[in-house]
Structure 1
Amino acid sequence: MQIIQTRRRFLASAAMAGAAGIVGLPELLQAEPLETTSVRLPRYVGGSYCWAGAYIAGELMRAEGFTDVRYVEGDRSVDQSEWMARGETDFSVNFPPNQIASIDAGVPIKVLTGLHSGCLELIAKESIRSVTDLRGKRVGVDGFNNSRHVWLTLMAAYVGLDPVNDIQWVLTEDNKPTELFIEGKIDAFLGTPPQPQQLRASKIGHTILNNAVDRPWSEYFCCMISARADYVNKYPVATKRVLRSIVKAADLCVSDPAMVARQMVDREFVPSYDFALQTLKDIRYDRWREYDAEDSLRFYALRMQELGMIKSTPQEIIAGGTDWRFLGELKRELKT
């Protein structure tokens, strides 16, 4: 079994390296030797369909010279920002509001780049046509002050609703929000892949906000890459190699989504090829070059500061919790 897995990994690594155009790496390895060949990345139990850029990047990192690429698996009930705070992972794929809250709390991380937009859809029953129509409605969340609750609070406040008093928050607890929605126990919820794709396939409900297309949310990243500050400071060459692998993987998500979807399933990151492929087609992985990562953090930090979610100013968040030097170099190196 170990021989089969090793051969499969070798073939996957070679295929990914060839597709990403990094097969001529030996000269680069000699010019910039890695300070470490180990890196730890996150994965959720059951997989996360919108993390394709990070999942597929593991093989590219091995082609870049990393010999110990580990995906640390954890439960969705604990946000990966806590994994970073506990030093369990070196890199993170997370929502900007989560990263901003971590920086505000003093967690030593550095946001390095944006990855994509478009992995969030606000699903509602047919009678609800816009975010403002959520006034008095039952909106499902899996906890207070966590990712979905924070996002929905920001979205509600942006259109003039009072998130505390105008919305009936319903804790989904151990239930899946899609099941409660289908049963009519909640009127709306914020879905992440593959939930919107599943409901669309069943023609249940509809999307009233999609952050791939609806402004202002579509103008900013919804997932960004961060790393532990000590990893960035101690291993700048390794940090750049990891980041290069991730953005090259993002390019592959755009240029060959079918291959990426198959890799995600074959390597057991997610169970469904169809939902993986549809998610790759829905998400905007082409925006890491186009969008201003700093502008995304500034936008969300300002909204959070206005609502009293953080004490730091947007500029303090950016000054203390970001490092854009690698992104600038990669944009110059990987021009298309």
Structure 2
Amino acid sequence: MKKKAVFLLLVLTLVTLVLAGCSSKTGNTGADSASAKLKTVKIANYSGAVCFAPLYAAVEKGFFTQEGLNVELVRTDFEGTKEGLATGKIDATLGLFHKWVKPIEQGMDIKFTAGLHTGCIQVVAGNNSGITRVEDLRGKRVGVDAIGAGPMNLLAVALSRAGIDWKNEVTWKAFPPDQLETAMDKGEIDVVAVTDPYAQFIIDKNKGRLILSQAETEPYARDYCCFVAVSGKLIAKDKETAAALTRALMKASMWVNENREEAARLGVEKKYTGGTAEGNARLLAKYRYVPGVQAAREDFLKAVKDLKAAGILEVDRPETLVDKAFAPVTGEITQ
């Protein structure tokens, strides 16, 4: 009788262990299944700019997850991002319009799908340069982060409007963005044109004065500067994923609009960007985070016309380039 009781106890123990194991496996399978439902996309974070706040917020606040996406951020430079988007190895990024439009004109398979915000380029003159406005730049040396990049192209448009030949009457010098301040200190350049926060660092240290702000200077202050830039290959093979990541970034942009101080803290604390939370919050306060599709297309067309007038773009009909490069994969986001 005693042996039978021991035998039954052993059987019950084995059954309990087996059931527990099955339960554990079933639980894991459920978690794995939920994870498997998320589609992985690669998004380039190539600048660490303050204005990339919607990207950081979309990751940290779950906007990508809500759209069924598992995002892998790829840290690379602009050239790596450009090549990755063109080949389909990178699915999307946030794109400073003035930086991306020339490669698109030259045949890169990259599409804009929505606008996210206005104004993240500043032009700052050294205190001892004697420069107080764009019209004073004739014969001066301008430091930029890259030849042909967004800040240079925006300033070239402003120079053209001021009657200055930006190709021959201004000297352009390229430095890594975090070295522009040093170049100004050494007297190698008179002016800096760069995305935030680098120009703001110079202003905050009382080393220079603002002469053009894309966020505050007319006629640029209400135009989108940063768009969602998506690989044309992704749109061709999986338009819904392109739409999902566009919606996530648009929703994140709306969140930034309502939570600028928190967005600034998030960017610094999670080491997405440099600067301080307080300084970056002041910059974010200048931008208009009002994402849109149709308004972005209209701004795109207007900017293409400006770039053509300045001799930066060679396209015969601006409308043709816009039709080619703007892909409205999703509708407007209202909430």
Match of 1:8 in 2: none
Could you say what secondary structure the match of 2:221 adopts? helix
CA distance in 1, matches of 2:149, 2:157: 12
1:175/1:239 CA distance change after superposition, 3 Å:
closer
Match of 1:322 in 2: 326
1:222/1:135 CA distance change after superposition, 3 Å:
same
- What per-residue deviation string (whole Å, max 9, x for no partner) do you get for residues 45-104 of structure 1? 6x22110111211231123322x311111135x373333123232112112233322321
Q: How far did residue 291 of structure 1 move?
A: 7.7
Q: How far did residue 35 of structure 1 move?
A: 9.3
Could you say what secondary structure the match of 1:153 adopts? helix
Question: In the alignment, is the contact (CA less than 8 A) between 1:114 and 1:224 conserved in 2?
Answer: yes
Match of 1:57 in 2: 58
Question: In the alignment, is the contact (CA less than 8 A) between 1:197 and 1:278 conserved in 2?
Answer: no
CA distance in 2, matches of 1:267, 1:95: 22
1:114 and 2:118 aligned: no
Match of 2:259 in 1: 256
- What per-residue deviation string (whole Å, max 9, x for no partner) do you get for residues 140-181 of structure 1? 134432333322222211221101221122343697111112
CA distance in 2, matches of 1:159, 1:189: 18
Q: How far did residue 224 of structure 1 move?
A: 1.0
CA distance in 2, matches of 1:295, 1:235: 25
CA distance in 2, matches of 1:307, 1:79: 27
CA distance in 2, matches of 1:263, 1:100: 30
Match of 2:191 in 1: 188
Could you say what secondary structure the match of 1:111 adopts? strand
Match of 1:284 in 2: 288
Aligned to 1:160, which of 142, 159, 163? 163
Q: How far did residue 289 of structure 1 move?
A: 4.1
CA distance in 1, matches of 2:115, 2:204: 29
- Equivalent residue runs for 1:20-39 within 5 Å: 37-39=39-41
Q: How far did residue 273 of structure 1 move?
A: 2.5
CA distance in 2, matches of 1:244, 1:41: 14
Question: In the alignment, is the contact (CA less than 8 A) between 1:35 and 1:235 conserved in 2?
Answer: no
Could you say what secondary structure the match of 2:108 adopts? coil
Aligned to 1:70, which of 69, 72, 87? 72
Residue type of the partner of 1:253?
V
CA distance in 2, matches of 1:184, 1:93: 33
CA distance in 1, matches of 2:223, 2:155: 16
Could you say what secondary structure the match of 1:284 adopts? coil
User: Cα RMSD between the aligned structures?
Assistant: 2.5
Match of 1:301 in 2: 304
Q: Which segments of 5 or more consecutive residues in structure 2 lack a partner in the other structure? A: 1-35
CA distance in 1, matches of 2:73, 2:218: 34
CA distance in 2, matches of 1:231, 1:174: 31
TM-score by length of 2: 0.79
Largest Rg, 1 or 2: 2
Aligned to 2:42, which of 40, 43, 60? 40
CA distance in 1, matches of 2:272, 2:146: 25
Aligned to 1:147, which of 150, 164, 170? 150
Q: How far did residue 114 of structure 1 move?
A: 0.9
Match of 1:89 in 2: 90
Could you say what secondary structure the match of 1:217 adopts? coil
Q: Between 207-216 and 91-100, report the one with greater CA deviation.
A: 91-100
CA distance in 2, matches of 1:174, 1:111: 25
CA distance in 1, matches of 2:153, 2:88: 24
CA distance in 2, matches of 1:79, 1:131: 32
The sequence identity of aligned pairs, in percent, is 23
Match of 2:132 in 1: 129
CA distance in 1, matches of 2:254, 2:178: 35
CA distance in 1, matches of 2:121, 2:270: 25
Match of 1:209 in 2: 212
Could you say what secondary structure the match of 2:273 adopts? coil
- What per-residue deviation string (whole Å, max 9, x for no partner) do you get for residues 296-316 of structure 1? 211221223234433322111
TM-score by length of 1: 0.79
Question: In the alignment, is the contact (CA less than 8 A) between 1:270 and 1:276 conserved in 2?
Answer: no
